[in-house]
Structure 1
Amino acid sequence: MTTLTDEDVVRIRRRSHVAIISGQALSGVGMGATFSAGALLATQLSGSPAWSGTSVTLSTLGAAAAAIPLARLAQRSGRSPALATGSGFAALGAVVGIVATAAGLFPLFLVAMGLLGVGTAVNLQSRFAATDLSEPASRGRDLSVVVWSTTLGAVLGPNLIGPGDEFGQSVGLPPLSGVFFFALAAQLVAIAVYLVVLRPDPLRTALRLGVERGTTDDESGVEDRSGVITGILTLALSHATMASVMAMTPVHLVEHGATLQIVGLTISLHVAGMYALSPLWGVLSDRFGRSPVIVLGQGMLLAALLMTAFGAEHSGWVLAGLIFLGLGWSAATVAASGLVADSADPLHRTVVQGRADLSMSLAGGIGAASAGVVLAAIGYAGLSLVAMALVAVVLVSLVLRVARRPRVVESGQV
């Protein structure tokens, strides 16, 4: 086996990025369509709107359950089999969804949503996969471009509900169930991309490169623990902040007389804020550091919560707040993901990344689930004020990290 040259590494990196971004976009389209119809299908199959939130809950649990196993599979066998396996479970979920809706079985539908949630775990792992062969100076940019590619699925996916419904009913399926066909097709193509195009495997190539250049042994066990903790905490709490307020915004707007068009516009602009500027945050975090961009993200989250708290009775302020909520989440997520990738022990980085994804999924699920209780108790403005506590915890963790860092450097435990 010949030694890898710098030109080989650049070529493999570019090919890997094309494969990862393509798979991410494909998966996002199918998942976006399915999850958008999930609440409606849950109500339809259960016969009660009280069960409408279970589709999101099960998909979140599916993503959380798959995070560590997929990370360990990547550590053992490489990114290609890990991402393809996750997409395979999501494809199986689409098949189960078709059967469940055709047979009118609500419990089986919940199983389908859990399996489809594994696709979300694949999307989360993909952003880290993009950094396997990255230079430290461009790690944030590479990661953020993969996050940005989610925009295609987030924007196009929900618009496939209508065509999917028409197709499903044309082959004799119940209303809305046709969206599972889009998810199935997208996941099957994504599997092919991961298995065929994602070669050579970027993670295995990175490990081989470390052995060839003598850096593996030197880097083993070198971990910035405070960086890992701060990064994971930022990912989890920023996601919980975003998910809790975003999940309750449509309910709040409708209760205050907003039209469905206003609700749709608000959520669409929020989603655009989540993904559209992610490359900018990646470049900024590479240039100025992860912590300053995390602080910027928390500042935008705080601004968003102030708008939704004190402007809760005005749809214009709520819309502006949701845009800033998406922007703040994006900046914090990109920078914190970069911090985790920078800080983890290189030989165990994928497992640490899996823990970050697990924490993020669980926090988002808990945030969205508890938001309804908080909304009922103290209203939308109160929910926004409570969410500020999560922002405060992230900022305190950053201050403590900076305060401890000189002592960590002096002790040689960077």
Structure 2
Amino acid sequence: MTSTASTPSTAPDPATSADATPVDAAQRRVLTVLVASQVLSGAGLAAGITVGALLAQQMLGSAGLAGLPSALFTAGSAIAAIAVSRVSAARGRRPGLALGYATGAVGSAGVIAAAVADSPVLLFAALLVYGAGTATNLQARYAGADLAAPTHRARAVSTVLVATTLGGIAGPNLAAPTGDLAAVLGIPRLAGPFLLAGVAYAAAAAVLAIGLRPDPLLLARERAGAAGADAAGRADAAQEPAAGIRRGVLLGTSVMVLTQVVMVAVMTMTPVHMHDMGHGTAASGLVIAIHIGAMYLPSPLTGRLVDRYGRTALATASGLTLLAAGVLAALAPGGSVPLLALALALLGLGWNFGLVAGTAIITDAVPLATRARTQGMVDVAIAVSGAAGGLASGAVVDLAGYPVLALGGGLLALAVLPAVVLTARGGPAAAH
């Protein structure tokens, strides 16, 4: 029996039917538009990562709550994931993704207003709204897989992810210049990157609203209905009951949740740790840029590895890579910039392994009719776990120090291994 959790479904697929050539052309257009929007949104995503914690520390005068911004915009991304997935399920990916990025632009403007007014309450509220951009950035990867052939799904996901690299690397390195621009405009320097975020998210929304035609999810459903793929999918589900789907969803969610909580916790407090060690914004921006590059740049290779060697093999690799990242970050003497850069690169790489593998597992396991809603709920779990990691990270550093946080995160990532083993024992649906 085919593995629903780790290998592509054997049900007829819209991208592999007789007239696949029009679908191939549509898929190429979809990926081109998604790549353009992800380049823009990557810059917006990087702004909050780079200076969010520092802005909160400056406004609150304490590092104890410096992890709160990450927790808030990650919690906001959980709320937005529900909204984006529901709009996508009802009306297609195009309106869902465009709405999500537009909301992120509004949140960016709110953060700037909060910094000018020196209002922590407004800052926290705006960060919740800003989180919509994070949710949409992740949801876009599913749009890349809607029309992809099952054997190329991970590669399609990775193509969308890698596009975030350009904006993600540029964003942190523009922290200092945008801070200078903010100062000229009479805005606190640390709010400067949110000027970039607002423009970037608004531009990404416009690109999607105008260019994402045909809508990949709607076209996939239309073709699936015409080919009778839904009926075939139901027949397949009868042979391998809902338990197989549940195992796939459980494994994919577990992998992505664990990698997200570890990545967010360590990443959030690294700029604060570097600041405490005497390093400036430019140094922390460089480290975060390397980290974001490692999160997305390896995606094409990761996608090929996932498609070739299996979903669970790369899920296991994610846990081991995150452990190495945590150990290295914990042992880096005096906040060494080169060692922290390497640790954060490994942190991003481990997250990338987990996200691409987990996304492929979920997409393989869930029928097309319910795919968008299930993907949205999975991303809610990812966002909530990230919020918990971000919120806890400041308290852990305040009480025990950054090395304890980094090492603890690495050890937590090893929970991916028993998750893979336990799910595999559930039956063939989890094997491979």
CA distance in 2, matches of 1:37, 1:409: 40
Aligned: 1:296 with 2:317: yes
Per-residue CA distance 1:32-55 (angstroms, 9 max, x = gap): 235533334435555666554433
Aligned: 1:228 with 2:242: no
The residue identity in structure 1 corresponding to 2:378 is A
Partner of 1:285: 306
CA distance in 2, matches of 1:133, 1:396: 33
Partner of 2:418: 396
SS at match of 2:148: coil
Partner of 1:219: 233
8 Å Cα contact 2:85/2:376 also seen in 1? yes
Residue 250 of structure 1, CA deviation: 4.0
TM-score calculated relative to the size of structure 2 = 0.85
CA distance in 2, matches of 1:29, 1:268: 10
SS at match of 1:404: coil
CA distance in 2, matches of 1:313, 1:175: 26
The residue identity in structure 2 corresponding to 1:334 is V
> Which of 176, 199, 208 is the aligned partner of 2:222?
208
The residue identity in structure 1 corresponding to 2:396 is V
Partner of 2:3: none
Partner of 1:268: 289
The residue identity in structure 2 corresponding to 1:235 is M
Residue 263 of structure 1, CA deviation: 4.7
SS at match of 2:174: helix
Partner of 2:103: 89
Partner of 1:366: 388
Partner of 2:125: 111
Partner of 2:7: none
Aligned residues: 408
Pairing of 1:343-362 with structure 2 (within 5 A): 343-362=365-384
Pairing of 1:4-43 with structure 2 (within 5 A): 5-43=19-57
Moved more, 25-34 or 208-217: 25-34
Partner of 2:147: 133
Percent of aligned positions that are identical: 35
Partner of 1:160: 174
> Which of 61, 65, 78 is the aligned partner of 2:92?
78
> Residues 68 and 37 of structure 1: is their aligned pair in 2 closer, same or farther, counting only changes over 3 Å?
same
> Residues 376 and 132 of structure 1: is their aligned pair in 2 closer, same or farther, counting only changes over 3 Å?
same
Pairing of 1:304-323 with structure 2 (within 5 A): 304-309=325-330, 315=336, 317-323=339-345
> Residues 35 and 375 of structure 1: is their aligned pair in 2 closer, same or farther, counting only changes over 3 Å?
closer
> Which of 233, 242, 264 is the aligned partner of 2:263?
242
The residue identity in structure 2 corresponding to 1:403 is R
8 Å Cα contact 2:164/2:296 also seen in 1? yes
CA distance in 2, matches of 1:317, 1:167: 31
Partner of 1:65: 79
TM-score calculated relative to the size of structure 1 = 0.88
Residue 65 of structure 1, CA deviation: 1.1
Which runs of no fewer than 5 residues in structure 2 stay unpaired?
A: 1-16
8 Å Cα contact 1:70/1:86 also seen in 2? yes
Pairing of 1:252-267 with structure 2 (within 5 A): 252-253=273-274, 255=276, 263-267=284-288
CA distance in 1, matches of 2:377, 2:80: 11
8 Å Cα contact 1:238/1:390 also seen in 2? no
Which runs of no fewer than 5 residues in structure 1 stay unpaired?
A: none
Moved more, 226-235 or 212-221: 212-221
Cα RMSD over matched residues? 2.9
CA distance in 2, matches of 1:179, 1:253: 19
CA distance in 2, matches of 1:178, 1:262: 17
Residue 396 of structure 1, CA deviation: 0.6
Residue 354 of structure 1, CA deviation: 1.0
CA distance in 2, matches of 1:25, 1:257: 32
Partner of 1:324: 346
SS at match of 1:341: helix
The residue identity in structure 1 corresponding to 2:377 is R
Per-residue CA distance 1:153-200 (angstroms, 9 max, x = gap): 221112333443444444454544454443332222222211111011
CA distance in 2, matches of 1:381, 1:107: 30
8 Å Cα contact 1:4/1:209 also seen in 2? no
8 Å Cα contact 1:33/1:159 also seen in 2? no
Residue 390 of structure 1, CA deviation: 2.4
8 Å Cα contact 1:21/1:146 also seen in 2? yes
CA distance in 2, matches of 1:252, 1:109: 22
Residue 257 of structure 1, CA deviation: 6.4
Residue 355 of structure 1, CA deviation: 1.7
Residue 25 of structure 1, CA deviation: 1.3
Per-residue CA distance 1:18-37 (angstroms, 9 max, x = gap): 11111111122233235533
